[in-house]
Amino acid sequence: MQPSGAASMPSDKAKLNKSLVATCVACNKPVSTESAVALTGIEDGHHKQFVVCNVCANKGWRPPGFAGLYTMRQE
């Protein structure tokens, strides 16, 4: 159950705006940026942001070198 006043995700506006779409690096599916998270990992010795959908992140996918905390999000 959502708190009162909380918006459902992704919003209809975001679904229609093609510039607010990213590709999940874990499942390679296009997702709304409202239903994705950027996790910091390491690639070739450098920090990099990896965009992951909430479903994959909630299932435990983490980028190589991830050393942070992740709070589960609504899918």
Average pLDDT over residues 58-62: 95
Residue 46: inside a domain: yes
Give pLDDT, residue 4: 45
> Is this prediction's pTM over 0.75?
no
| pLDDT above 70: residue 3 | no
Q: What domain range is 32 assigned to?
A: 12-58
Rounded average pLDDT over 2-7: 44
- What span, in angstroms and rounded, lies between the C-alpha atoms of 14 and 3? 21
Q: Answer whether residue 5 is part of any domain.
A: no
In a domain, 71, yes or no: no
- Answer whether residue 2 is part of any domain: no
Write out the DSSP string of the chain.
-PPTTPPPSS-HHHHH-GGGEEE-TTT--EEEGGGEEEEEEEETTEEEEEEEEHHHHHTT---TT--S-------
**Residue at 74 is within a domain:** no
Total domains in the fold of the chain: 1
The reply to whether 41 falls in a domain is yes
Closest to 55 measured CA to CA, from 75, 38, 71: 75
